[in-house]
Amino acid sequence: MDPTNHETEAPLPDINPLRMQVQAKIKKLELLSSTGLWILALFTALSMGALRDFDFLPPLSESIRVALGAGPPIKYINGALLIYGFSAIILILTQMASDKKPSGALGHFGYLGAFYLFYHFSEGLRENFWAVFSVGLTILGLQSYHVWNYYHEKIQEQAEILLELDKLLD
């Protein structure tokens, strides 16, 4: 065998489709990383309505109010808000510690909205608005950070893959 005659190396397959897939995944992850902020913005809008005691909505008719009955006592709502707040924070911190995919932001928004409505129907919203708002900002802020942090790590993983693919092109 002639030492000057090297066997020709097989050309590498085209990796551009793979690079495009990774880039598309990064864009999707970037979009997902901002979902926590959107829920926070939605909660802020709901809170502005609650601060105005939902005066922009038409009042419920007397027959609907009778059908709904009296709102729950304020002390029960306060207790439920306290239990919910601690439970939600523990749940989010547990998800963060175990590096689980974030979930539940829309559910938290729904629960917080329900607290605003319970206080509204029990005629205690004005006195308890800041309690719901503070608990909501704490829960949704923590959730938003978890969402951002989780997806930021996934983006970093994909960026490293992209760097490795770029090295193959060189």
DSSP the chain: --TT-PPPPPPPPP-HHHHHHHHHHHHHHHHHHTHHHHHHHHHHHHHHHHHTTTTTSPPPPHHHHHHH-SPPPHHHHHHHHHHHHHHHHHHHHHHHHTTPPP--HHHHHHHHHHHHHHHHHTT-HHHHHHHHHHHHHHHHHHHHHHHHHHHHHHHHHHHHHHHHHHHHH-
- Domains in the chain: boundaries: 39-147
Tens of pLDDT, residues 120-138: 989 999 999 999 999 999 9
Residue 82 is predicted with a pLDDT of 98
Please, which pLDDT band fits residue 3 given cuts at 50, 70 and 90? low
Please, which pLDDT band fits residue 104 given cuts at 50, 70 and 90? confident
pTM of the model: 0.83
Tens of pLDDT, residues 42-69: 999 999 999 998 888 888 788 888 888 8
Give how far the C-alpha of residue 40 lies from the chain's centroid of Cα atoms, to the nearest Å: 8
Per-residue pLDDT, averaged over 26-48, amounts to 94
Residue 30 is predicted with a pLDDT of 93
More confident residue, 57 or 7: 57
Tens of pLDDT, residues 135-165: 999 999 999 999 999 999 999 999 998 888 8
